[in-house]
Amino acid sequence: MQQYSVKTALQLLERTPGTLSSLLNELPDDWVMRNEGQGTWSPLEIMGHLIFCEKNNFFGRIRTILSDDDQKRLSPFDMSRQFEWIKGKNMSTLLTEFTDLRQQNLASLRSHPLSETDLHKTGLHPKMGTVTLQNVLSTWVTHDLSHTTQILRVMAKQYKEDVGPFIEYLRILN
């Protein structure tokens, strides 16, 4: 297992917008608006979720943990608020907004470098209880990777019927 590194975490967070832009920008709507079935998300909805997280989740929680407040209560987060918010928006608009928000959040985070002591500071999560700054940063990175994987899986399944017998070798489709 890799030893935790703030530098690496920030590098990974910095790469997500470009990775998703390369993958999704200028694709036809039928690719970015399809999902895996009822109760699943399309790439467009996933991008909406990532933007909502940039605005309301990880960076806000980091600020709360680093603050001088006595009670460092982390705000609850609604993981499906993007559905109403993304109506009428296209993938290009969402990718640009995500990129801008991520750049702003990372610039703010880098403006006061984190110490080892900072990583052990805590906040009170509404469901998880006490969490450290390192927990939140690690979750932010893993959240990005998880949703990138989800997007890839949703897209791969668009050709599930077309790969024929090769499906045996394509674990992403099973």
Other CB atoms within a 10 A radius of the CB of residue 85 amount to 13
- The answer to whether the CB of 114 falls within 8 A of the CB of 133 is yes
> pLDDT tens-digit profile of 28-73?
999 999 999 999 999 999 999 999 999 989 999 999 999 988 889 9
Which tokens sit at 149? 């994987």
Lowest mean pLDDT among 76-80, 108-112, 146-150: 76-80
* pTM over cut 0.85: yes
Q: Which residues pair with 73 in a beta bridge?
A: 124
Domain ranges of the chain: 6-173
Would you tell me which CATH number, out of the four given (1.20.120.450, 2.40.50.420, 1.10.150.530, 1.20.1440.230), belongs to the domain 6-173? 1.20.120.450
Q: For residues 152 and 36, give the distance between their C-alpha atoms in angstroms, rounded to a whole number.
A: 11
pLDDT bucket at 76, cuts 50 / 70 / 90: confident
Nearest to 49 by CA among 106, 109, 94: 94
What are the backbone dihedrals phi and psi of residue 123, each rounded to the nearest 5 degrees, phi first? -140, 165
Fill in the amino acid letter for 74: L
Query: How much is the pLDDT for 54?
Result: 94
Query: Over 80: is that where the pLDDT of 80 sits?
Result: no
| DSSP states along 58-124 | HHHHHHHHHS--S--BPPP--TTTHHHHTTT--HHHHHHHHHHHHHHHHHHHHTSPPPHHHHT-EEE
Q: For residues 171 and 174, give the distance between their C-alpha atoms in angstroms, rounded to a whole number.
A: 5
Q: For residues 69 and 1, give the distance between their C-alpha atoms in angstroms, rounded to a whole number.
A: 34
> pLDDT tens-digit profile of 92-134?
999 999 999 999 999 999 998 899 999 999 999 999 999 999 9
The mean pLDDT of 15-39, rounded to a whole number, is 96
- The answer to whether the CB of 133 falls within 8 A of the CB of 119 is yes
